Structures are given as C-alpha cells and as structure tokens.
Chain A
Amino acid sequence: MMIKDILSPFSAWKKVFDKPVVIKDPINDRPGADRYRGFHKNDIETCIGCGTCEDICENEAIDMIPVEGIETKDGDSGLRPSIDYGRCCWCALCVDICTTTSLTLSNAYNWVEEDPEAYRFTPGVDEKPWQNEEKGWKKPEGNYEFYSLNRVSMEHLHPEERSDSFVEMVKGYSKEQAEKEADRCVECGICTATCPAHMGIPEYIKAIRNDDLEEGLRILYDTNPLPEICGRICTHKCETVCSVGHRGDPISIRWLKRYIADQNPSEKYKQILESESLKKNGKKVAIIGSGPAGLSAAYYLALLGYECTIYEKLSQAGGMMRYGIPEYRLPYDQIDKDINYILSLGVKIVYDTTIGKDIMLEQLEKDNDAVFAGTGLHLGRSTRIDGSDHKDVYQSIEMLRKITQGEEVHVAEKIVVIGGGNVAMDITRSLARLQIQKYGKVQIITTSLETEDIMPADVEEVVESREEGATVMPGWAPQHIEIVDGKIKGLHVAQCLSLFDETGNFNPQCNLENTRFFEGDMVVESIGQGMDLSYLSEDIKEQLEMGPRGRIQVNDVFQTSLPWLFLGGDIIQGPDVIHGIANGHIAARGIDRLLSGE
C-alpha cells in the first residue's frame, strides 16, 4: 500500500466543478437516430393488407382488421395491420418483410397516454403525432431481401426452334426450379381471394415446397378440375395481384400449378383423389357444351353422385380450350389428360349434337332433373368497315377452329390481323407458323386500336409474336380495306387517339391526318366474339329474365329465372377459362341445392 493509493481517489473531487451530465447533455434536445426503431407508421394507400407483417411477428402483436373506408377489392384484402404495444418488441421484422414497404417506424422515443386501450392502434388510420415523421426505421437498402424478388425463369423453345411448328413452347419447371420458385411465396392469400375459382394457391405452393405433389393435386382438384389446362393458359389474375409482385416479379403461380399436374401421372389420379367408388344418387343433369364451365360442372356434380351427360356440338371435347387456343400453348394431349379423368368418373359426352337442332332444350328438361349450359362465345365479330365483306376477310375464331380440326385454311403471303387481344395473338402466331411452313417466311402485321401499354393481350404474347417474326402495330384504327380487281391489297388505318368518350362508352377517336397503309392479301378480324343462344327457343327466351348488356340474368349460383336452367362460363362472366371453371363449380353446388331440396 502506497501513499498514492490513499490520495489518488480524492482526485474525483475535481468533478465537483463539472455540470451534471443531465444538464450538460439532456436527452430531450436530441431526436432519435435516423434509423431508430420507434413507433409504427403505415401508408394505408400503399398497403394491400397482405398480412405478411402479421405472419412474421413472433409476438403476435399484429392483427389484420377491417378499416372503415377501405374496400376489399382485387389485390387488396381491405384489412390493415393493428399493433398491440403490449406485445410489440420493436424488432421491425414486420417492416423488413413488408411486401409494399408501406409499413415503417418513426424515430419517436416516447409516447405516454392515460388510456391503456390507446396502445392498441392501427397505424395510418388512427391519428398519431409521429405519423408524418420522415425519419425512423425503414427497410434497409441494398441487397437485403427476406424472400427472392426474382422469378425462376421458365425455359422456352427458342424462336427459331418453335416458329415453324406447333410443339409446346414452354418447357415447364424442373423439381429444383419449382421448389425454388415456391419458396418465394409469402402465403398472403391475396391470390386466393382474387382467383375466380378461389383456388388454394398458398396451400398448393406449400405442397410443392414439401415435395408432396399428391397433396398438391388434391388441393388443385378441390376447386379446379382442369389443372393441366389452367396450368398453361390461365389468365392468372392471381399473379397480377401477387403481393410479391409489388417490389419484384410475382410468383409464377400458373407454372407451379402446371408443375403439380404434370408430375402426377393420370393413371394415379383416381387413387390420389380418392374417387375410385362414387355413389350415384340417381338424378340426372344435362350439360350443354364441353368447355371449361361444362366440364367443371360435370366434375363436381359427378362427385356428388349425379349422372351427367354433356352435349357437344363438335366432334371433340374442350370447347374454346381445344378449338380456340393453339396447340403450341396448350397441347391436345394435356387437354385429354384433364378431360379423360372427368370422363372416368362416369360423365358421358354426346358428340356432334347441337341442342336446338338435333335435340330440343325442352326435351333435355324432360329427360333430366336440371340443365346447365356453358356454351361460350363462338361467333366472330366483324369490324364492319368497307371491304370487310370480302371473301378473303376471315374471322380468327373460325380459322383457329379449322386449324385444330386439321382443315385446310387459306394462308396468304401477306396477312393483316386486326385485334389486340390474346386471340389476335393466337391467330397471328398460328398463321405465322403456317406461313413459314408454306412460304418459308413470315409477313404478318397485327394492328390494334389500343396502344401497347393498354393492349389487352398479355405482354409475353406480344413479345413472343414479335420474336416469331410478326409485326405488332398497336394504336391504329382500321378505316377500310382496299380492294383492287376483286383482290385485297391491304388495310388503311388511322392513328387512334382515344378509345372511350367522356361517359366511358366505347367510342374510338382517330386522327385522320395520320394514316398508314398495311399491305396484305388477306385480312383476319379478331376483335372479340359474341354468343350464340339459338338453342333457347322463343318460348324459353320469353320466360328468361334479362340482365344488362343483353346477358341473361342469373342469381348467385348461376340459376336463371327458370329454376331448372343454369348458365355459366363466357356467356355470363369472363371471357376466360378460370371464370368458366368457377361458374361451373358454383352452379354444380346450386344444382345440388335445388335437387337435394336444401
């Protein structure tokens, strides 16, 4: 022990002259750090209520609750996160995983209220002083992702490999690719709500992750008896609203569905789906049209024990799926796989039979307990411009049907297609293949009223059409077809300025000073289709209640004002396959309710 040890501690006395720390450096003078994890803020306009924040919260501090003024709509659950500060631990994982980056934290330090209930609040809805605070925790910048934003790319046949054949161009996912893609899903269920058939999308994606494809198939068939078909050509409204798509690529829901269906062999379907012995209930239902709506209704009715007979006008089943969609997008053997399974449940199809001609609808009513009609849109619409009555002006829908049936179609050296939808792209690409086969080169111009950004066709369809040699010219309105010496020379078009007038009605406006001439020997019109309801006799038509836009009024289970007659598919909703499937499913339930007397 030295004398130093006795004296040295007294050096602390010099601090007597220092100001106390709390006066020298008071905390109130300093705001929280820029990154401080303070209290929740939410931009409720950007938020889609996906609930991913609720999922990741390990304290269950977040509840998704309905909020006044926010409607449930496609891509928005209408719910918003409500935070319970009795549970929150401010880890901000909810902020980091937020699919839209709407949820953030302010850098406020303190919040004191007398009412304990105040600590359970909905950020962005309940007014809080820190609501407009710029600083605070946000999702870190840089390559900081809790799930991959990039889609696993799908392998396609190269344009040079596919442009002269109708071989399916999308190759499908391998196991590794499918599992990697399935891993990106955040299981929010926004897709399920938007899908017309309300398919259990997060559940079947989970089945892929668990490599339980049999479970996946069962989930698919719960709501959709045509997974091979939908896995290829569905309009995938689910992907349009996918929450992952807000900052990255949406999940390839359609290709994942195809993966499940492709991987399950058709001979095992009955065993997997436990449909080996279905009990019959002795009641009969007639179904008109073997398109998606008809097949879907037949499948779910057959499961319930009904004896279903489908009446088909053409010689093969599938309707627009077979006769409208080209083989390179939807191969016929895949259509057959789905349809054969439905037929294996005891559903009968009577081919080459037109209702209203070969059999009258009244007869069907007498022979059956109920009738479901899903007859689709099979009549082509004409532009009715000058020259559109020429013999070399064709309807796309008829040409596509003939191509499927293997009939010879007229293929000119130079073709002009009018239309901007997926059907226009289908005929463009089908004719391009035929042109290569016949002439060795593609000379097709496809023109649409809509400019490229609002074209109804899928972007990939437009891109792939161009890859295959077609020229897509959006934003031009057809004026008249030039005919010289009885032969078509081409199509005159004018720049299209707008499609709709102020009242929202379809009324295209053109700039007649800016015109162009598209050379061609034949013109194909593909501007939409109409319905053929000639199977409804005048007597029946009089009894049917009509709805808006010339459509027949149906109730929530697609029952018309004649209790025994149900309608569904493109003639009621859509047009697309998935609406048809959904309508058929709901109508099947409606028919069951009617016939079982519930």
Chain B
Amino acid sequence: MKNKLNILNWKPDRSSFPDMGEDGKPVISLDSEKFIKVWQGPNHPGITGNMSLELTISGDEVVESKTHVGYLHRGFEKLFERRRYIQCFPTCIRMCVPEPDTNEYNLARGVEELDGIEVPEMANWLRMIVLEMARLQVLLRMVPGQAGTMGLGLGVQWGMYYRELILDRMEELTGARIYHMYILPGGVRGLLPDGFKQRLEENLVKIEGFLKDIDKLILHNAVFKKRAIGIGHIPKDWVDQYGIVGPVARAAGYQRDVRKDYPYLYYDQIDFDYNIEHDSDMFARFLVRRKDLETTLDILRQIMAKMPDKGEIRAETPNVLHWKIPKGETYVRCESSRGEYGFYMVADGSEFPRRINLRGPSYTHAIAVLEKLLVNANISDVSAIMLSLATCPPEIER
C-alpha cells in the first residue's frame, strides 16, 4: 500500500511551470503563449508504429504527454471469437509484427494446455530455435536502433543487413520472412532443411563481427553516452507497481525473465543468465539489450547442439476443422524481446475460443510509463525514450 501511495504522490519537477490545479491536473493555458501542443505520430518517422503522442511543450521541454491509440485497431481479440482455433493461428501473428512467433507460440501452447496435448520433443526444440531467431532479428534492429532514434542511422542500416540473414534462415525453415506461421497448435510445420545448422552458424559468426562494429560505433560513442546516460530514468519501485517486464525491468536491476522464472519448452536445459544493469536509464536498457543479443547467439548455439536430428513434428490432434477445446481457462506466457508476453485464454467447450486476451509489455510501457517518463524530457529525446521502452502499438491495439 505504501508503494502504491508513492506512485500517486510522485510529482515531476514543475518548478518552472504553473502549479497543479485543485483537480490534480497542471494548469496549462495555451493562451499564455508559454505552451504549445505538438502531435508526434501517428506517422512520425521517429515513432514505433502507428501510435500518437499528444505533447504539451514549453520551449523544448515536455510538460505533459498523452498517448493516443486507435490508428491500428483491427479487433483481433474479437475476431478470434468468431474463428476456429486453427484459423486464429494466421490472425494472431499480426498482434506483433516484428516478432510474430511469440503469438504463434502462445496460441499453440494455450490450445495444447487446454486440450491436454503432448507436443513431440523435436517440435519443442524447433519452436525454441524459431523463437530465439525471432528475438535475434528483433534485437539486431533494436540495439542499433536506439542510436538511430538520436540520428545515428548507420548502425540500423548495418543491423538491417544482418537481420536479413536471419530472415533468410526463417524463410528456409518456415516458408516466410516476416509472418512465419510456423508454430501450429500441436507442433510445428517442418523439420530443419539440410545444412540449416551450418548456414545459421555462419550467420551467427557474422553477427558476432557486427557486434564489435556496433560497440565501436554506439557503445563507445561520446554523443550517444551523453544523450543516453541518465535520460529516461525509471525509478526502481515503478517496476513492480506498473508491471514493467523484460529488458526494461532488467535494466532496473530486477531478475525478470520468463525463460528462467517460469521455464517453458526446454529452456531449463539451456545455460544462460539474467542480463542485469542497475542504472535504469536509456543507456542501461541499451546495455541489457546488447547483452541479450550475445546471450541469444549463445542460446541458439546450445539449442543446435542439443536438439535431435529427427523426430515427429506434430502431435496427433482432433480434426482442426471442428476442434472443440474443453471448457477451461489458462494463462500462457513466453519471453519476447520486449519482455513477458502472455495470452489469457478461455475456452467454453466449443469450436471457437470464448476469449483470448493478450498481455503484452507495450500496454504498460507505452501508455502508463511513457506518459510519466516524458514529463520534463527534452522533445528530441521523446522517440529515443519510446524505443528504449520497446513500444509496439499493434500489441496495444489488438
């Protein structure tokens, strides 16, 4: 309770601005010509996806920020209620475009848990390899992307090239580059192609080289450090109060990773550690993601070494055209590149889900946390702070 009060009592430094009114809102008079309103988004190049921020600024300092969504709403959760479980599978991936595989995995896992289906060992290893490859290709864009939001676009261009290499492997394995549609309820859709492991290993070696370049370009960069260190600081006690997850929580010193806290698939057989930083600013979050990249490379190598060569790829399931899932509810989760990503699923015994609700990190990060974090921030840091929180609008508007 005490912690809760802390949040309510938290006030930004408003020494140079009008006081808070009696209703608890800042008294901002646009007529005073001290403030202007600026809309960032929905199609601003610095914003991650179709989301919009209503910023009130005084000079170049943000006084108030409000998140506006609704530009991307496609009603997925409602659509699921009118689709058979197998038909949800090509739909759910669109709830997170950069990393669709976590959606596939959660849907499949939820269905399997509710219907008591045992997935073959090989399929589980293949799921892991795809999930880690997905994380890798997101981080390849996101780690240099942090500098990209500050004007250093070069790293992103390099990252995009290495991401394409991973997408090539994705294409080989899953049949598509972006919307992989590989993890089906019951199993997966194909074995590793011949020579896949070798080609992936070659890519991983290249990516290690890229990491060195990134370190030189971004990590040891005076401008980046100047703009990232101490900016976008999230107080440590916010983490639990807001439900902050993933790299953002780890950058605040929290040991929080679904793969270790609630091991799924065969992550308990993989040797890896939490990547922790303590400063909880943009730079700390960059460092955590930078370490995550290395961890992912390591995990991928461990998976390739441990996985069997052959095996069943899909369990026997009822006919997918009229697959009735027994009445029940479940919450399934996995660790996406942005943190805990969960599906709360309710089945009513029919061929259609009663409700599938997504619990993604962006809802918290991009609405509750971001609105507070932007107060007193410099307008030029807005998109950098957003990216450091890994906001993903399609995941908010599902």
Contacts and interface: CB of A to CB of B under 8 A. Distances in A.
Interface of A: 1, 4-6, 8-9, 11-12, 15, 21, 25, 32-37, 52, 55-56, 58-59, 89-93, 96-97, 137, 140, 142-148, 183-187, 206, 209
Nearest to B168: A33
A93 B86 contact: yes
Contacts of A146: 86, 317, 319-321
Q: Which of A58, A147, A185 has the most CB of B within 10 A?
A: A58
A33 B217 CA distance: 34
B314 A6 contact: no
Nearest to A11: B216
B83 A92 contact: no
Nearest to B88: A58
B171 interface: yes
Interface string B78-97: 00000110111111000000
Contacts of A12: 154, 213, 216-217
Nearest to B311: A142
A187 B321 CA distance: 9
A93 B221 contact: no
Contacts of A8: 216-217, 220-221
Contact of B220 (A9, A55, A185, A206): A9
A1 B225 CA distance: 8
Interface stretch (B1-9, B127-135, B187-195): B187-195
Interface of B: 83-84, 86-91, 154, 158, 161, 168, 171-176, 179, 181, 187, 189-191, 193, 213, 216-218, 220-223, 225-226, 312-314, 316-322
B313 A142 contact: yes
Contacts of B191: 142
A89 B322 contact: no
Given A12-B154, A137-B175, A143-B313, A183 B220 contact: no
A74 B179 CA distance: 39
A100 to B, nearest CB: 16
B214 to A, nearest CB: 10
B221 A5 contact: yes
B172 A33 contact: yes
A513 to B, nearest CB: 54
Given A12-B217, A15-B158, 12 more contacts: A9-B221, A35-B174, A36-B171, A37-B175, A37-B176, A37-B181, A58-B87, A59-B90, A142-B191, A143-B312, A146-B319, A147-B321
Closest 10 CB pairs of A and B: A58-B87, A91-B90, A147-B319, A8-B220, A5-B222, A37-B175, A35-B175, A33-B171, A146-B320, A11-B216
A89 B179 contact: yes
B221 A144 contact: no
Contacts of B154: 12
Contacts of B216: 8-9, 11-12
A12 B158 CA distance: 11
Given A92-B181, A93-B86, A144 B176 contact: no
Contacts of A89: 90, 179
Nearest to A12: B217
Contact of A143 (B171, B174, B316): B316
Nearest to B212: A11
A12 B316 CA distance: 53
Contacts of B187: 144
A224 B310 CA distance: 50
B312 A142 contact: yes
A34 B90 contact: no
A186 B321 contact: yes
A34 B193 contact: yes
Given A5-B220, A12-B217, A21-B161, A144 B321 contact: no
Given A33-B175, A93-B86, A183 B318 contact: yes
B217 A91 contact: no
Contacts of B220: 4-5, 8-9
Q: Which of B175, B193, B218, B319 has the most CB of A within 10 A?
A: B175
Nearest to B122: A142
Contacts of B173: 35
Given A9-B216, A9-B221, A140 B87 contact: no
Contact of B321 (A4, A9, A35, A56): A56
26 contacts: A1-B226, A5-B220, A5-B221, A5-B225, A8-B220, A9-B217, A9-B222, A11-B216, A21-B161, A33-B172, A33-B175, A35-B172, A36-B176, A37-B181, A52-B321, A55-B321, A56-B321, A93-B86, A137-B175, A140-B189, A142-B312, A143-B312, A144-B314, A146-B321, A183-B319, A186-B319
A545 to B, nearest CB: 48
Contacts of A97: 320-321
A32 B321 contact: no
A12 B83 CA distance: 50
Contacts of A11: 213, 216-217
A543 to B, nearest CB: 54
A93 B175 contact: no
Contacts of A34: 172, 193
A144 B161 CA distance: 34
B316 A56 contact: no
A569 B90 CA distance: 50
A37 B174 CA distance: 9
Contact of A147 (B158, B174, B320): B320
A96 B175 CA distance: 13
A91 B175 CA distance: 9
Contacts of A142: 191, 312-314
B319 A144 contact: no
B172 A1 contact: no
Contacts of B226: 1
Contacts of A183: 318-319, 322
A279 to B, nearest CB: 39
Contacts of A144: 187, 189, 313-314
Contacts of A93: 86-87, 89-90
B31 to A, nearest CB: 43
Nearest to B165: A25
Nearest to A139: B189
A167 B158 CA distance: 79
B194 to A, nearest CB: 10
A291 to B, nearest CB: 37
A418 B59 CA distance: 106
Nearest to A144: B314
Contacts of B193: 33-35
A33 B312 CA distance: 22
A52 B319 CA distance: 12
A1 B227 CA distance: 12
A36 B179 CA distance: 12
A184 B319 contact: yes
B232 to A, nearest CB: 19
Contacts of B222: 1, 5-6, 9
Nearest to A187: B321
B217 A56 contact: no
A145 B171 CA distance: 22
Contacts of B175: 33, 35-37, 92, 137
A56 B86 contact: yes
A35 B190 contact: yes
A56 B322 CA distance: 10
A185 B323 CA distance: 12
A146 B85 CA distance: 12
A205 to B, nearest CB: 10
Contacts of A185: 319
Given A5-B225, A8-B216, A12-B216, A140 B313 contact: yes
A209 B321 contact: no
Contact of B190 (A9, A140, A143): A140
A13 to B, nearest CB: 10
A148 B90 contact: no
Contact of B316 (A36, A140, A145): A145
Contacts of A209: 322
Nearest to B219: A8
A140 B172 CA distance: 13
